[in-house]
Amino acid sequence: MVKKIMLAVLTAALLLAVVESLTAQPPGRDPGGRRGGGGAAPQGQAPLPANEQEKKILSVLEDMDQNQRRGMMNVPQEDGRILRLLTETIGAKHVVEIGTSNGYSGIWFCLAMRATGGKLTTHDIDEGRASLARENFKRAGVDNMVTLVMGDAHETITKLKGPIDVVFIDADKPGYTDYLNKMLPLVRPGGLILGHNVNMGSQMQDYIKAITTNPNLETIFLGQGQDLSVTLKKR
């Protein structure tokens, strides 16, 4: 138990470091947005690839961002980068995504797990979106890292086994609390539950309450408009 608590504390410290790096003003820019000296890059600058495989993956993500965003409700690029950094920071081996869409966020997870040796299990109910996602996973060269499960995720996730390092929920908003209740026992101590579009009003109230009043969880809100909840399972 002591080791688990220490792991959770260390993970929280790492997450805070990531959050600070993402939310800090770029050097040379004051809070009003005026640029000072030092030639710092803009905060929204696209990530730089470390190798040819990353270059290929980032190129596919950019193409999807430019040409496949309409009607897909994907996370913005900034949130995708947060997903990648959080996943790689905790050394995730198994990520479960609820709501595949066209595979955009899933590819960000795979980009992280190239470094951790992890795998993605992603769930969707729409065959059209799933077909497009399969194509995009293959284009990015990450299809061997992905298991795509078709069907109602409220039912299909009950077949999963732990431990799970990261859960990402981006599906039917009223269903978030049910997903949380079913997935939380499978998430390891020090693991994360991430929720997208949690700033969507009354339909998210039960989920927000669930992740902010449980003493075994610690939650912060990030992303554009603080629409991404990041919940640490402490124990």
pLDDT tens, position by position, 166-199: 999 999 999 999 999 999 999 999 999 999 999 8
Residue scoring higher pLDDT (9 or 199): 199
**7 three-class SS:** helix
Give mean pLDDT, residues 70-99. 91
In-domain check, residue 33: no
208 falls within a domain: yes
- pLDDT above 90 for 159: yes
Strand 119-124's sheet: what is its strand order? 146-150, 119-124, 94-98, 164-169, 187-196, 228-233, 217-222
pLDDT tops 70 at residue 29: no
> Which band of pLDDT confidence, cut at 50, 70 and 90, is reported for residue 18?
low
Residue 128 lies in a domain: yes
Tell me, yes or no, whether 156 lies in a domain: yes
Does residue 30 form part of some domain?
A: no
Please indicate, yes or no, if residue 193 is contained in any of the structural domains. yes
- The single-letter code of the amino acid at 64 is M
- Other beta carbons within 10 angstroms of residue 26's beta carbon come to 14
- CATH code where residue 215 lies: 3.40.50.150
Residue 233 has pLDDT above 90, yes or no: yes
In a domain, 42, yes or no: no
Strands (E), the chain: 94-98, 119-124, 146-150, 164-169, 187-196, 217-222, 228-233
Inter-CA distances, 213 with 9, 13, 15, 230, Å: 19, 21, 20, 14
d(CA 160, CA 22): 32
**Range of lowest pLDDT (123-127, 194-198, 202-206):** 202-206
Cα angle, residue 127 at apex, residues 125 and 132 outer, rounded to 5°: 120
pLDDT of residue 10: 56
Q: Measured in whole angstroms, how far is the alpha carbon of residue 15 from the centre of its chain?
A: 13
Written as six digits, the tokens of 230 are: 């990041």
Average pLDDT score, the chain: 85
**What pLDDT was estimated at residue 124?**
97
Total of domains in the chain: 1
pTM value is 0.83
Domain hosting residue 56, numbered range:
2-23+47-233
The SS3 of residue 102 is coil
Residue 15 lies in a domain: yes
Pairing of strands 217-222, 228-233: antiparallel
